[in-house]
Structure 1
Amino acid sequence: MRHLATAAAGIAAAILLTGCGAGDAGKTTAPTSKNGTSATSGSVGSFEVETALKNADPARYSAEITTETYAGSTLTVVMAGRMNFNGPAPTGKLTLKTSESVPEDQAFSMETILLEDASYTRTLDDDGAAGEWQRTGLDPASTGLADYGAYAQLLLGLGSKARKGPEEVDGVPAYRLSGSLTQDQLRTVDRRVYDRMRTEGTQEFACDVWVNESGRVVRFEQWLEVSGNSGRNVVKLKNFSDPVPVSAPK
């Protein structure tokens, strides 16, 4: 547990900055439905996932997002907020906080504002007091990030082996796709993930995507390795709506 918070922050940052992290850690548990048991085809209403993705509204939208980050099997960081998608880059406001499993001297709480060309982050203390905002510029040439739907399309391209069938996610009918994606597959879809994989020598990573009838991804799971630390991110998206305004802090 010595460097748990540091590892967790790196894993969380992977998904925060890229829209999806990358790694070659093996799956340790099977994805489950809301009642804790693996869902099977036919357990909920079925639909054509290809048609749903093809007909998904291309307009910008927002969604509530919650990401649970695990180091091994231990929950370490929870990220939550509302994000805008289908733009040049994801934007939004998020909070990140370590779980009770993280030692007190490694715990942190912070909030982040993501813009298309920069991110702003500040720490929060136990009393809710905030530190100074710190700006980090983003390379405009690499801000064209893929959304989760692009990953669903990649998994569809793997053929029948990736099609796991209909499942229910928080009471919503969805279709689950599962498989491993390679460096080359990510090269033209998500350049940041591709560059990160090349830097760390990662050849492929595993992920699962659940798509609803409207072609929106409602759940995303990834198994990754960051700086030698194996982890998992579980992303949940709900309450889809119009884009929300996001601006730099004053």
Structure 2
Amino acid sequence: MRHLAIVAAGIAVTVLLTGCGAGDAGQRPAPKSKSGTAVTPKSVGAFEVEAALKNADPAPYSAHITSESYLGSTLGLVMTGRMNLNGSAPTGKMTLKTSDSAPEGQAVNAETILLENATYTRTLDDDGTAGEWQRAGLDSAGAGVADYGAYAQLLLDLGPKAQKGSEEMDGAPTYRLSGKLTQDHLRAVDRRLYDRMRSTGTEEFDCDVWVNEVGRVVRFEQWMKASGSSAHNVVTLKNFSAPVPVSAPE
């Protein structure tokens, strides 16, 4: 279990910061809201997404993040917690839990602390008992990881075809951008995923982002194929506030 928790922590960093890691672009299902219902374009609260991204506050901030990773239509891993973004490197605290469909012996229930130079992870038992913290270093590629705003800008740069219009999410106006991103797009923005795409021969993947009125990405979706199966990552961000303290466990 302890080894699986360390592996899961690595998955968490990969999904949250660089998306899936392998395969060709997969077929995309219709975008879903957090309630599971389809998100449809609305004219209410329309705004200029280019201006929103341009004028977004560059100062560091934190957000509550939930990440769901699917293999096909099966939910595999759920991560939730608060992350600091827009700083020199993302930091935060997350809990990781595999779905009930995880094979026996491969289930993970753990928490991880992400620092600029390392992650700390420990297992959590159903009775609340926690294991010992295990430290794992981050490779040097992590320093160049982009935040979701960079993905939004990549999609915006694709031109009018990527601009899908205003949509309401959680009762607030957002603007949806959608398109295919290639290795070349990520070369200067997300070096870790760029290297993984090159090593696996992945040419492109489908990506959607939803941007709010102040230029923050509130939802990120990605579709790829891994080991011949379609993979889908869904990341939601909310409750934006000032950065929160994050330190190594004692």
Q: 1:131 to 1:228 in 2, by over 3 A?
A: farther
Alignment of 1:163-174 (within 5 A): 163-174=163-174
Q: Establish whether residue 123 from structure 1 lines up as the match of residue 130 from structure 2.
A: no
Q: How far apart, CA to CA, are the structure 1 residues paired with 2:203 and 2:46?
A: 33
Rounded to whole Å, the distance in 1 between the matches of 2:162 and 2:48 is: 14
Which ranges of structure 2 fall in alignment gaps of 5 or more residues?
none
- Give the Å deviation of 1:139: 3.0
Distance 1:138 1:11, change over 3 A: closer
Q: Identity rate of aligned residues, in percent? A: 70
Aligned pairs (5 A) from 1:15-94: 15-16=15-16, 18-22=17-21, 23-33=23-33, 36-42=37-43, 44-94=44-94
Q: Distance in 2 between matches of 1:31 and 1:145?
A: 25
SS of residue paired to 2:105: helix
Corresponding residue of 2:132: 132
Distance 1:205 1:236 in 2: 19
Find the residue that maps to 2:15 and give its secondary structure.
helix
Deviation at 1:69, TM superposition (A): 1.0
Kept after mapping to 2: 8 A contact 1:76/1:102: yes
CA deviation map 1:163-200 (0-9, x unaligned): 11011111121000000100011000011111111111
The two structures have a TM-score, normalised by structure 2, of 0.90
Is 1:10–1:226's contact at 8 Å kept on the other side of the alignment? no
- For each residue in 1:36-57, what CA deviation from the matched residue of structure 2 results, as whole angstroms up to 9, or x when unmatched? 1341242x31000000000000
Q: What is residue 205 of structure 2 aligned with on the other side?
A: 205
Number of corresponding residues: 243
CA RMSD of aligned residues (A): 2.2
Q: Deviations over 1:1-40 (max 9, x none)?
A: xxxx9x9888655214x34335533234110345713412
Q: Residues 73-98 of structure 1, C-alpha deviation per residue, up to 9 Å, x if partnerless?
A: 01121100000000121100000001
* 2:67 alignment partner, SS class: strand
> Residue 154 of structure 1 aligns with which residue?
154
The answer on whether the counterparts of 1:19 and 1:145 sit within 8 Å (CA) in structure 2 is yes
Contact 2:70 2:76 in 1 (8 A): yes
Change (3 A) 1:11 1:120: closer
Q: Distance in 1 between matches of 2:18 and 2:141?
A: 16
CA–CA separation in structure 1 for the residues paired with 2:145 and 2:39: 31
8 Å Cα contact 1:24-1:206 kept in structure 2:
no
Give secondary structure in 2 for the equivalent of 1:234. strand
Could you say which residue in structure 1 is the equivalent of 2:101? Answer: 101
Q: 1:63 to 1:161 in 2, by over 3 A?
A: same
- Partner amino acid, structure 2, of 1:134: Q
- Counterpart contact for 1:82–1:92, Cα < 8 Å: yes
Structure 1 residues 239, 189: closer, same or farther in 2, change over 3 A? same
